[in-house]
Every structure is written in C-alpha cells, then in structure tokens.
C-alpha cells in the first residue's frame, strides 16, 4: 500500500509545477516554518483561545482587520466553509428567506439547510461564448426583493472560480434599501486588497460580511481563511456560530501559517504584488500570440453582468480546436509537468499567486505556445453549446425539509414529475441545475441525458452508469 506521507514527500521532490491552490505554491524558498511538531500546541498559558480570543489570537484578528481596512476580522482554520456557515447563520433566523445566486458554493446551500431557510434563487446570466457564468445584476436582485418580501440575506459569489466580479456596490445599495444583509463569498479574492490592478474588494463596497480563503490566492496553508464583518450588530451571533462550526481544537500550525502570511503582507505586500502583477502582465502578453487557444481576459467586462475581471486566473479556451480541456491538461501535465487547477470540456483553468516563480510562468507560456503550434483549427468541432435551462425548476419543498425526507432511487428517464432529493450540478459552469425539493421536468431529464452523452461532467447522479437519481418517496412523511 502507498503511504500518504511518503507519497507527498516524493511528489514534492519531483518538478511538477502547481498552477493550482494552495497559493503558497509549495514555494519553500518563500514560505517555510519549523517542523510542524515543534509548534503544534493546544490552548496553553500565553497562547490564547481562538474561541475566546483575548491575547495573541485577538491581536492576529486585529492585524488582519487593519491590513484589510475593515471593522472586525476572524482568522479561520476550517476554510471559507466555516465563515460562510457562520455568516449565514448570524445574519438570519431559522426559517427566514435568503436570496442566493444559483452559482454559489455548496457551503452556502449547506448553511441554508442548517438554518432551515427558504431559498430564493437568482440565476447568473451565461456568457454564451465561453459557457461560464456572468455576474449578478443589481436590478434583478431588486426585482426579487420587491416580489418576495422580507428577504433577510443576499449571498453572492464574487469573484467566481473563473474570476468574474459583480457590481457589489450597486447590489449592496439595493440590499440595504430593502433591509437585507449582503454576504459576499470572496473565497477567491483574498489578494484583491493588495494591488490596484485587481478589482476592489467587496469589503469596501458595502458588503456586510465578506469571506476569503487565504489558502486559495495567498501564501497560507490549506484550510486557512478569514471572515470579515462590517456590521457590529452581527458580531455576537457570528462568534456563537463560529464556536459551533469551527473545531474546538483549532490547529496552531494553521494559525501560525495565517500569521506568517499576514506578516509577509504587512511587511512586503507592495513589492511582492508589484512584481507579481508585472509577471502576470508578461504572461498575458506572451499568450496574445496564441493562434488557436484563447486566454480569457478583461474583454469580457461590460457584458452579461460582468463588472470586473480578476486577471490572476489563467483560463485557456479551446473552442474551435480539435482538442478538449482534458486532453490539453493531460499534455501540460505529462509533457511539461504543469498541473492545472481545473479542466472543463472547453477550457483549463490555472491559479496564480505572488509565490509563482518567473520559471513557472515561463514554463506555462512556452508549453501553451508550443502546443498551440501543434494544434489545428477545427471550427466544426466543439462548437460548444452551453447547457442552459429555460428557467429554474419548480421548488416544491423547502431545501432543509427535502433533505430530511425518505428517499428512493429511480432511473433519470422515469423521474419526470418526481421531487429531487439531491443536488445535481453540471460542469461547466458548475452551478446546481437541480436542488433537493425541486421537481424534475422533461427539459431537465432531456438535458441530463444529453450532457452525459456529450461527456460533460455532471455530479449528483447514482448508479454505475450515472443514469439514476435520488428522489423523495411518494406518500411518506419526514423521518422522525
């Protein structure tokens, strides 16, 4: 049997270059700590208590708030997931209405389940050319706030995984005019603060709660994140819920990694980000010469609700070539030892950070230019049709009630009219096309069958052939 630790060590000795998280990029020249065992402690005298911070951990939170220029910040060791769960729980009461963008991360849906919230969805527009989600428009939010009374909280993801940023300032205004809180999942935007070439963080645009994963785009260990709060009224409940969702034994190794990351930024952010943006610009410039592959850039801004774009994401589209994302990723990995963050049918996605090296960027650029020259244009192929539904499915039962009901498995083709007991998501663009409590219809069934045939990734189905789905049993009540 393989041993995990041995495998990690031997992988670290190979020269695979990470175009993926965590943002420290395994760059041990820039980021290092003592042997973890030497600094792994519990809440002993002098080292404070994350759940009742009065000393060094309270100071860490204050330093983060000062660096990000906001009212209050909490370092997190259970990822943005913990911050999102705590934020949703603090800003709502059990059973309240929440308006959430349909492309939210699963932790947002999980927060809604835990609080028994009534979910109202807003579907982001699809950028047809690339089959990625666009931004959320404030006037659509306003329409829903007027139609549905008493929405307590709005949750949107900005930037998205692909770097799409919505107009947070307008959304915050609309939310506050109608008495709703705004939580922005900025898990992919912890770096925005440090250079004017990145979009402005939601923290400075009126959002009440902003959650950022440090480990995604900054040099910190996996699971580290921060929860920022600009509304004093939420603080007490936030702390109550953080105590529920975060481990009662928060890792001092992870907390130390947050401290190292924050110290680096306090001391050196300006120079590091100057150099990083310069390297990113060079990378973007050298990829301009690509003939067949296409690098996504800020030309998408201004359409489909896209207010701004995060250029730290390197997204290479393959439309009109004879290859797909899986093939491109395999060649990048096998021939050039470059490992990307994600592959989709029509693109591959890389994540970058201040810890990327010049060598790493050069290797990626050289690989893509060489592959591009080998490729042939094939306009007939992969004329990619994003899979869109004419509207959201009918919501019959509340999300939280649906997950508590008795379920059975049926063939997808026989599921029309049944109520889903599961999330079904499609990649790209990655948002759920169906959530628990929603009714299957003919259009959905046709789409699921179609996307499986064309080889898109779909999650949430069952059976060896992925042709079955969990639905709520007819004529049964909740499990007591």
Ligand X SMILES: Cc1ncc(COP(=O)(O)O)c(C=O)c1O
Name the residue number minimizing CB distance to ligand X: 79
Nearest distance from C-beta of residue 214 to ligand X, angstroms:
8
Tokens of 452: 């499986």
**Angle CA(324)–CA(356)–CA(77) in degrees, nearest 5?**
95
Token pair 């709660």 in the structure block, residue: 209
Under rule CB under 6 A, residue 217 binds ligand X: no
> 444: which 2 tokens?
């959905």
Judging by beta carbons within 10 Å of its beta carbon (0-12, 13-18, 19+), is residue 1 exposed, middle or buried? exposed
* The Cα angle at residue 77 between residues 71 and 81, in degrees rounded to 5: 80
State in angstroms the smallest separation of the CB of 204 from ligand X. Answer: 20
Cβ at position 80, least distance to ligand X in Å: 3
Q: Which residues in 328-435 belong to E strands, given as ranges?
A: 338-340, 342-343, 347-351, 407-411, 424-427, 432-434
Query: CA-CA distance, 399 to 415, in Å (whole number)?
Result: 19
* CB-nearer residue toward ligand X: 157 or 166: 157
Is 106 in a helix, a strand, or coil? helix
> CA-to-CA distance for 84 and 86, rounded, in angstroms?
5
Task: Give the nearest distance from C-beta 23 to ligand X in angstroms.
Answer: 11
Residue 70 vs 225, nearer CB to ligand X: 225
Q: 196 Cβ partners below 8 Å, 6+ apart?
A: none
Least distance from ligand X to the Cβ atom of residue 464, Å = 28
Site for ligand X in 53-72 (CB under 6 A): none
Query: Measured between alpha carbons, how far is 245 from 292 in angstroms, rounded to an integer?
Result: 47
Toward ligand X, which CB reaches closer, 205 or 405? Answer: 205
Interaction pattern, residues 156-195, with ligand X; x per rule: CB under 6 A = -x---x-----------------------x-xx-------
243 or 473: CB nearest ligand X: 243
Rounded Cα distance, 422 and 106, in Å: 12
Least distance to ligand X, CB of residue 160, Å: 7
What three-state secondary structure class fits 194?
Answer: helix
**φ and ψ of 76, to 5 deg:** -125, 145
Question: How many H-runs (helices) and E-runs (strands) does the chain carry?
Answer: 14, 22
160 versus 395: smaller Cβ distance to ligand X: 160
DSSP-derived pairing of the beta strands 313-317 and 342-343:
unpaired
Residue closer to ligand X, measured from CB, 60 or 187:
187
Nearest one of 88, 101, 21, 99 to 431, comparing CA atoms: 101
> What minimum distance in Å lies between the beta carbon of 404 and ligand X?
24
Sole residue written with tokens 């699809």: 126
Mark 73-112 with x for binding to ligand X (rule: CB under 6 A) and - for no binding: ------xxx-----------------------x-x-----
Draw the binding track, 108-147, toward ligand X (x: CB under 6 A; -: no contact): ----------------------------------------
Structure tokens at 440: 């299957």
| C-beta of 247 vs 385, nearer to ligand X | 247
Which residue intervals of 183-311 are DSSP H helices? 214-217, 235-245, 252-286
Nearer to ligand X, 184 or 345 (CB): 184
> Taking CB under 6 A as the rule, which mask of x and - marks residues 224-263 in contact with ligand X?
-x--------------------------------------
Determine the Cα–Cα distance for residues 13 and 291; give it in Å rounded to an integer. 35
Nearer to ligand X among residue 164 and residue 371 (C-beta): 164
Q: Which of 92, 119, 213, 230 binds ligand X (CB under 6 A)?
A: 213
Instruction: Supply the minimum distance, in Å, between the C-beta of residue 97 and ligand X.
Output: 22
Q: Considering CB under 6 A, how many residues would be counted as binding ligand X?
A: 12
State the minimum distance, in angstroms, from the CB of residue 236 to ligand X. 23
Report the nearest approach of ligand X to the CB of residue 391 (Å): 24
Between 318 and 342, whose beta carbon lies closer to ligand X? 342
Positions that interact with ligand X (CB under 6 A): 79-81, 105, 107, 157, 161, 185, 187-188, 213, 225
């Amino acid at each position: 049997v393989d041993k995990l630790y041995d495998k990690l060590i031997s992988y670290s000795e190979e020269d695979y270059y990470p175009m993926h998280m965590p943002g420290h990029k395994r760059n041990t020249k820039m980021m290092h700590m003592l042997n973890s065992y030497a600094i792994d402690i519990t809440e002993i005298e002098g080292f404070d208590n994350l759940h009742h911070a009065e000393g060094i951990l309270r100071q860490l939170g204050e330093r983060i708030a000062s660096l990000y220029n906001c009212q209050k910040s909490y370092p997190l060791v259970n990822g943005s997931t913990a911050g999102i769960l705590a934020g949703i729980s603090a800003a709502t009461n059990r059973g309240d209405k929440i308006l959430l963008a349909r492309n939210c991360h699963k932790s947002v849906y999980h927060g809604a389940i835990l609080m028994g919230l009534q979910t109202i969805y807003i579907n982001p527009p699809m950028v047809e050319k690339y089959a990625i989600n666009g931004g959320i428009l404030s006037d659509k939010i306003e329409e829903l706030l007027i139609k549905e009374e008493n929405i307590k909280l709005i949750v949107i993801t900005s930037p998205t995984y692909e770097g799409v940023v919505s107009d947070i300032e307008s959304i915050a205004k609309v939310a506050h005019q109608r008495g709703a809180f705004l939580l922005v999942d900025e898990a992919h935007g912890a770096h925005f603060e440090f250079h004017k070439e990145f979009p402005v963080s939601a923290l400075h645009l009126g959002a009440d709660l902003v959650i950022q994963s440090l480990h995604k785009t900054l040099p910190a260990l996996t699971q580290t994140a921060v929860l920022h709060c600009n509304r004093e009224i939420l603080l007490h409940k936030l702390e109550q819920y953080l105590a529920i969702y975060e481990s009662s034994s928060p890792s001092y190794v992870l907390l130390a990694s947050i401290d190292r990351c924050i110290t680096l930024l306090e001391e050196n952010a300006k120079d590091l980000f100057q150099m990083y943006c310069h390297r990113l610009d060079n990378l973007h410039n050298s990829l301009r010469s690509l003939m067949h592959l296409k690098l996504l850039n800020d030309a998408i801004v201004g359409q489909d609700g896209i207010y701004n774009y995060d250029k730290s994401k390197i997204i290479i589209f393959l439309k009109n070539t004879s290859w797909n994302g899986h093939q491109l990723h395999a060649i990048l990995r096998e021939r050039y030892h470059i490992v990307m963050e994600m592959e989709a049918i029509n693109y591959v996605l890389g994540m970058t950070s201040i810890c990327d090296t010049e060598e790493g960027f050069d290797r990626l650029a050289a690989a893509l230019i060489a592959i591009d020259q080998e490729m042939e244009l094939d306009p007939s192929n992969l004329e990619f049709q994003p899979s869109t539904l004419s509207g959201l499915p009918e919501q019959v039962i509340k999300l939280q009630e649906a997950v508590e009901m008795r379920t059975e498995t049926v063939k997808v083709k026989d599921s029309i009219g049944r109520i889903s007991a599961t999330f079904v998501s499609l990649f790209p663009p990655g948002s759920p096309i169906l959530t628990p409590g929603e009714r299957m219809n003919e259009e959905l069934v046709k789409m699921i069958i179609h996307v499986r045939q064309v080889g898109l990734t779909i999650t949430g189905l069952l059976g060896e052939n992925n042709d079955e789905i969990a639905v709520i049993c007819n004529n049964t009540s909740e499990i007591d």
